[in-house]
Structure 1
Amino acid sequence: MATSVDVRRALASLADPRRAEASSRFLQMVPGGYGEGDSALGVSVPDQRTVAARFWRDLSLAETTKLLIEGAHEERLTALFILVRKFARGDEQERDLVFDTILANTDSINNWDLVDSSAPYIVGPWLLDRDRSVLDRLAESSLVWERRIAVMATFAFIRAGDFEWTFRLGDRLLHDPHDLVRKAVGWMLREVGNRDRAAEEEFLVRRYRVMPRVMLRYAIEKFEPQRRRDYLSGAL
C-alpha cells in the first residue's frame, strides 16, 4: 500500500521554485494575506491531478487524511483530489467516511482553491438527499473557510435544479465581512441564473441595493450589458 510519504515524494519531483513563488503570491501566503502561514511547493494543478489519479486506489483514507493534515498546500490539494475520487467511486460507507473526514479537517481546507475543489464534489453531493442543517452550522462559523464550504456545497444542489439552499445561505451571508464568501455567494447565484434566470432575478431584485458590490458583480456577470448597468446603477 502507498503512504503519504510516497505522494509527497511524487509531488516533490514535480516542484518548481518559480511556480511556488507565484503561487504564494496568488494564494496570499504572505504576511497579512488570507493564506498567511501556508507554503507552496510549486506543482501545477494538472500534475497534482495526475499524482492523485496514480495513488487514490492504494492510499488508505488514514494516509490521505495524514497528507491533508500535515502537507504543504499542493499536498493538501492532492489529498482532496484523492478524497474526491474515493467519494465518487466509493460505496455508501466509504462516502460517509470521506464526508466526515472533510468536516473534521476544515482547518486544513484553508484556501479558496481547496474549498472549491472539494465542497461541491463531496459535501454537497452527500447532502443531496439528507438533512442539510450542517450547512447552517458551517455558515455561522467564525472560520471563513467553513462559511465558503457551506456556500460552495450548494453547487451540487444547483446542478440538481434545487436552489433553495443557495438562496437561504445567500440571505444569511448577504453581509458577510469576507470578500471570499461574498464572491462565493455571487458565483452560486450566477450558477442559479445559468439554469433559471427568473429565479435568480427574483432573489436579486429585492436585495441588490444592499448587496456587497463584489457579490452583485459576480451574480450578474452573465447578464446582458444593459441589464448589468441597471443593477449596478440601482435603476431597477
Structure 2
Amino acid sequence: MIGPSSSAAELIAHLHTLRSESNIAGMVRFGIVTENAIGISNPDLQKIARLAKKDHIRAKELWASGVREARMLALYTFDPKRLTEAEARTLAADFNSWEIVDCAADLFVEADLDALIPEFAADEREFVRRTAFAMIAGMTVHRKKDTDASLLTYLPLIEAHATDPRNFVRKAVNWALRNIGKRSHACHGPALALAERLAANVDKTARWIGKDAVRELTSEKLLARL
C-alpha cells in the first residue's frame, strides 16, 4: 500500500508494476523522452503523489533514479518551502525533456525561486533556458498576487532571447509573451507592442514568436475578456 511512509525504492517498485508499452508509444508522439520511461500518465502519477505526500528527502532519491515517472513523482512531492536555489540548479542540470521542465518550472515558481530566471535564461543549455520562460509563463497564471508591473519586467528578457531558434526555447519564449499579454488589460498593451515589434524583426524566429503572439493577443475572444 502506497502512503507517506513509502520509501523511494518502494514507490519505484510500485511504478514498475504499472508499466504500459502502449502509453510509452503514445508519449513518443508528444515528444516526451521515453528512454527511461515506464509509461504512466501524469494524472495517474499525481494520484500516487497525493497518496505518498510531500517528502523532500525522498523526492531527491526518486529524482536520482533517472526513471521518468520517478522524476515526475519527485517534482510532485518536493516540498517547495524547503527547495533551495542550489537544489533547483542541480535538478536543472538533468533536464532533458519539455514535460520535466514545465513541471519543474511550476515547482520553482511555488518555491519563489524567481531569482533563478535571469540565470537560467542566460544558460546556453536548451532545457535550462526553457525553464526560465516556463517559469514566467507559469507565474502569470499561478501568482495571482503578483503585480502586473513585476511581470512586465520580464519583457526585455523575452525580447533578448526571441532569436533563439531551438524549438523548446522559442516555444517557451512565445508562451511567456502570450501569457503576460493575457494576464490583464495593463499587461496586454506592452506585451502586444513587443509582439508587434518582434513580428517585424528580420530574424525568422523572432518573427514567428511575434506573429503567433499577435494573433492570440488580438483575438476577439481575448479582447472581450480583458
- Measured in 1, the distance between the counterparts of 2:41 and 2:101 equals 17
On the 8 A contact 2:198/2:210 being kept in 1, the answer is: no
Deviation (angstroms), 1:182? 0.5
**Alignment CA distance shift 1:225-1:168 (3 Å):** closer
Paired residue for 2:178?
Answer: 190
Q: Deviations over 1:123-146 (max 9, x none)?
A: 465145xxx2x3222112221111
Paired residue for 1:232?
Answer: none
- TM-score, normalising length: structure 1: 0.76
- Measured in 1, the distance between the counterparts of 2:179 and 2:120 equals 21
Corresponding pairs, count? 204
- Measured in 1, the distance between the counterparts of 2:52 and 2:8 equals 9
Deviation (angstroms), 1:165? 4.1
Paired residue for 1:2?
Answer: 6
Trace 1:40-59 onto structure 2 (pairs within 5 A).
40-57=37-54, 59=55
On the 8 A contact 1:16/1:41 being kept in 2, the answer is: yes
- TM-score, normalising length: structure 2: 0.78
- Measured in 2, the distance between the counterparts of 1:209 and 1:122 equals 33
Deviation (angstroms), 1:147? 0.2
The answer on 1:23 being equivalent to 2:27 is yes
- Identify unmatched segments of 5+ residues in structure 1: 30-34, 227-236
Q: Deviations over 1:154-194 (max 9, x none)?
A: 23553422223431221221111311111111111111111
What is the aligned-residue identity percentage?
22
Give the RMSD, CA atoms, in angstroms.
Answer: 2.4
Letter matched to residue 8 of structure 2: S
Trace 1:121-200 onto structure 2 (pairs within 5 A).
121-123=107-109, 125-127=111-113, 132=115, 134-155=116-137, 157-158=139-140, 159=143, 160=146, 161=148, 162-195=150-183, 196-200=187-191
- Identify unmatched segments of 5+ residues in structure 2: 221-226
- Measured in 2, the distance between the counterparts of 1:25 and 1:6 equals 30
Paired residue for 1:233?
Answer: none
